[in-house]
Amino acid sequence: MKSWVENVTIKKYEDRSGLTGLKQEPLVWTEVFLREVNRQSNTGILHFWPMDQTVILGMMDSQVAQLDKGLASIGQAGYSPIIRSLGGLAVVADEGILNVTLILPNPSGHKVDLRESYQVMVDLIAQALSDFPFEVVSGKVATSYCPGTYDLSIKGRKFAGLAQRIYQEAIAISAYISVSGNQVKRGQVVADFYVASFAPQEVSDRFPQVNPDSMANLSDLVGQDVTVEDMKKRIEQVLVENGTRLSTFYPSSDNMADFMTFGKTIKQSMEKYGI
C-alpha cells in the first residue's frame, strides 16, 4: 500500500447525503473524483459517503428476469434501490455501514494491476483494525452478498467487500464495511431480492445463494462497540502513518459542472429501470 500513498496528497471529502436531493449523489461524486485525480497526478481523494436504507445494485443485477419484482421486494423491506457503475453485485447501505472510496493516481504509469490496487484497500482496512487480536482474512465468501476474491472476513464471517473502477490514470477502490447494526437482516433483504427477481424455475450461477449468517458486523466480530466515526479515524490514521499528506477537498466550479453532467446521466439511467 505504501508505494501507492506515500508522498501523495489525499484530500478528504465527507459526503453529506441529500445535499442535492439526488439519491445517487455519492455515485456521481465517484465519477467527478476520478476525473479530478486523473487531472492531478500527485493527488488522491478519500471519500466517505453515507446512505440511508439503500440497496446498491450492480449492473449485472439489473439483468435479472423479474427486476420489477425484485425492486418491489427491496421497497417492502424499507429500502430504496439504486444501480452503480462500479463492479460487483447488490450491497446494503445504512447508518451502520461505512462506505469509503479511495481514488488514487496510477503510481506506475503502466497498465494498472487490479490485484495490486485491490490490495491497497485490503491493507488499509487490515491495518486500521490491527489493534484487535483477530486476523482480517481476504478471500471469497461465496454465500455472502456481492461475493468476491477480496471479501474481508474475521473468524470466517464477512464484514466488508470491495469494488473498483478505473478512468484513464485514476483508480477508485471502494469498500463497504459493516460496522454495526443488524447484518443478518441486511443479508436477508438481498437474499429476498434474488428470490423475487428470478423467473419460476430459473437457475443462475451468476448470482449468489445468499446465506445471511455468512456475514456479521465488525462490532460483533471483535466483541467491542465500533462506530462508523471510529472507523473513519482509523483509516485516516493509517494513511498518515504510510506517508500520506491529508487535507480537505473543496469542490471547484469545474467539479460542480462535472457533477451536474454526470448527475443528469445517472438519473436518466436509473429512470430507465423505474428507479
Query: So what's the pLDDT on residue 274?
Result: 79
Q: Which residue has the cell 439489473?
A: 62
Query: So what's the pLDDT on residue 17?
Result: 55
Residues 226 and 186 sit within 8 Å (Cβ to Cβ): no
Grid coordinates given for 163: 469494488
Instruction: Judge whether residue 20 has pLDDT over 70.
Output: no
56: three-class secondary structure by DSSP: strand
Q: What are the boundaries of each domain within the chain?
A: 2-272
Instruction: Judge whether residue 36 has pLDDT over 90.
Output: yes
Cα four-point dihedral sign 81, 126, 45, 226: positive
Instruction: Judge whether residue 21 has pLDDT over 80.
Output: no
Query: So what's the pLDDT on residue 272?
Result: 81
Euclidean distance between CA atoms 262 and 165, whole angstroms = 15
| SS3 of the chain: helix, strand, coil, percent, to 5 | 40, 25, 40
Query: So what's the pLDDT on residue 267?
Result: 84
Give the pLDDT confidence of 149-164 residue by residue, as tens digits.
Answer: 999 999 999 999 999 9
Q: In one letter, which amino acid is 138?
A: S
Query: What is the pLDDT averaged over residues 164-193?
Result: 96
Residue 48: how many CA atoms within 13 Å on its side-chain side? 19
> pTM score, two decimals?
0.93
Instruction: Judge whether residue 112 has pLDDT over 80.
Output: no
In 3D space, the residue among 115, 48, 61 whose CA is nearest the CA of residue 91 turns out to be 61
Query: What is the pLDDT averaged over residues 214-242?
Result: 97
55: three-class secondary structure by DSSP: strand
Query: What is the pLDDT averaged over residues 140-149?
Result: 96
Judged on CB neighbours under 10 Å (0-12, 13-18, 19+), 255 is middle
Q: How many CB atoms lie within 10 A of CB 15?
A: 17
Q: Which of 83, 129, 146, 239 is catalytic?
A: 146
Judged on CB neighbours under 10 Å (0-12, 13-18, 19+), 166 is middle
18 confidence band (pLDDT: 50, 70, 90): low
Query: So what's the pLDDT on residue 98?
Result: 98
* Count, residues in the chain: 275
Q: Please enumerate in sequence order all residues whose Cβ is within 8 A of that of 239, keeping only pairs 6 or more positions apart, or say none.
A: 5, 10, 46, 124, 246
Euclidean distance between CA atoms 262 and 34, whole angstroms = 12
Query: So what's the pLDDT on residue 275?
Result: 81
146 is catalytic: yes
Instruction: Judge whether residue 231 has pLDDT over 80.
Output: yes
Query: What is the pLDDT averaged over residues 218-240?
Result: 97
147 confidence band (pLDDT: 50, 70, 90): very high
Select, from the ranges 54-63, 82-91, 224-233, 253-262, the one with the highest average predicted confidence (pLDDT).
224-233
Percent of the chain with pLDDT over 90: 73
Percent of the chain with pLDDT over 70: 94
Query: So what's the pLDDT on residue 86?
Result: 66
Instruction: Judge whether residue 52 has pLDDT over 70.
Output: yes
Distances (CA, A) of 133 to 1, 53, 219: 22, 31, 13
Judged on CB neighbours under 10 Å (0-12, 13-18, 19+), 19 is exposed
Query: What is the pLDDT averaged over residues 132-145?
Result: 97
Query: So what's the pLDDT on residue 143?
Result: 96
Tell me which CATH homologous superfamily contains domain 2-272.
Bira Bifunctional Protein; Domain 2 (3.30.930.10)
Mean pLDDT for all residues in the chain: 92
Helix ranges (H only) for the chain are: 2-5, 25-39, 67-76, 114-128, 183-197, 218-222, 228-241, 253-272
Cα four-point dihedral sign 213, 217, 219, 225: negative
